[in-house]
Structure 1
Amino acid sequence: MTKFFSNLWAVIAVSVAIMVAIAFWAHGTYGNPAGYYNGFFRFLHVLAGVMWIGLLYYFNFVQIPTMPKVPAELKPGVSKYIAPEALFWFRYGALVTVLTGLIVAHLNGYLIEALTLGAGFRLIGLGMWLALIMAFNVWFVIWPNQKRALGIVPAEDAVKAKSATTAMIFSRTNTLLSIPMLYCMVTQGALGGL
């Protein structure tokens, strides 16, 4: 049992197999292919969103506040191994969340109405725009600055320090935007029509 649970990818494979079995059972039970695809993309959207926002909160609630307390000789363990791996999943979690969210909006026929903040779709639209801003920050501000700050790309010490500060400010900006974004997404769904 320990060998199985020590292998993350084996655990994920079994988890996906269980999910596929449930999906085939549900698909056969409900017999609605369009609804099934919609549900599947919603599932992927939520799964990727948990990865993205979970890592955003890890960085802001755990890593950033804890790093000043970590002894200097231990910091390379975080900056060379943990942070780059976490940033990989963070970036792609953001990308998949946005793409699947756009697919769900398209499949349900409200993509344009939401992006233009049309009547009845203002909350979900505002949530989508906040998520798009956050994803932009991840890919075009946080990641380029983190690459310099972590030494993934060469930079002088002053540039590394400035890049670390910039990445932190935009990560905190995303934390600030995440709460209203999640509120818009959840509340619009609770109001119906999606």
Structure 2
Amino acid sequence: MAVIDLLARYAHLLFALVWVGHNYANFIQNPRFVPLQNGIDTSTLNRDLEQRMKREHGIFRYASLVVWISGLLMLWQRGWLEDALLLQGPLAVIGLGAWIGTLMLLNLWLVLWPHQKKLLGFVPASLEERVRCSRITFLSSRSNTILSIPLLFLMAAGGHGLHLFS
């Protein structure tokens, strides 16, 4: 069990860096919303760029699943899962972080990714649809970036600052 805990903890931290790091890199590279312009020539999109984008977004999306599953595994292994998810006692702190992480995961997979596929041209969409999707992906990505701030605080406070909440 100690090996499983070590692997889950390592995976949780490593893939959290990938997931949250991608959010922050996106925030730094694109500090404000710039709408997709009408009249863009989609035929100029480079096949190599498309492959790199698919790989980047795939790693980012699947990192979120590893983080979420490994976090739940650690809570379950310790017997904390129920109290954390029900926000009971001292585990309410880490539980709130788990719920925020769940919202971020759902936002990524159910809002951001379906629109991003259209925006990036992975799924056929009209230019008007792609323009609409550009705004949704921007806002969805920013939401996850903002939610990561209290999430990281609650993750750290769950193990290193519970006295603040007692």
Please give the TM-score of this superposition, normalised by the length of structure 2: 0.84
Shift of 1:76: 3.6
Distance 1:60 1:191 in 2: 28
Distance 2:33 2:150 in 1: 27
Q: Contact 1:142/1:167 (CA < 8 Å) preserved in 2?
A: yes
Question: Which residue in 1 is equivalent to 2:2?
Answer: 35
| Percent identity between the two aligned chains | 31
Number of residue pairs aligned between Structure 1 and Structure 2: 155
Question: Which residue in 1 is equivalent to 2:63?
Answer: 93
Tell me, yes or no, if structure 1 residue 151 matches structure 2 residue 118. Answer: no
Please give the TM-score of this superposition, normalised by the length of structure 1: 0.73
Q: Contact 2:119/2:133 (CA < 8 Å) preserved in 1?
A: yes
Q: How does 1:79-158 map to 2 (within 5 A)?
A: 80-158=50-128
Shift of 1:126: 0.5
**Which aligned segments of 4 or more residues in structure 1 are displaced greater than 6 angstroms?**
none
Asked which structure has the greater RCO (Cα within 8 Å, sep 6+), the reply is 2
The structure in which a higher percent of residues are helix is 1
Distance 1:121 1:127 in 2: 10
Q: 1:50 aligns with which of 17, 21, 30?
A: 17
Range with bigger deviation, 76-85 or 86-95: 76-85
Shift of 1:81: 4.2
Question: Which residue in 1 is equivalent to 2:37?
Answer: none
AA in 2 matched with 1:57: Y
Q: Contact 1:55/1:86 (CA < 8 Å) preserved in 2?
A: no
Q: How does 1:158-173 map to 2 (within 5 A)?
A: 158-173=128-143
Question: Which residue in 2 is equivalent to 1:9?
Answer: none
Shift of 1:85: 2.3
Shift of 1:59: 1.8
Gapped regions of structure 1 (runs ≥ 5): 1-33
| Partner SS state of residue 142, structure 1 | helix
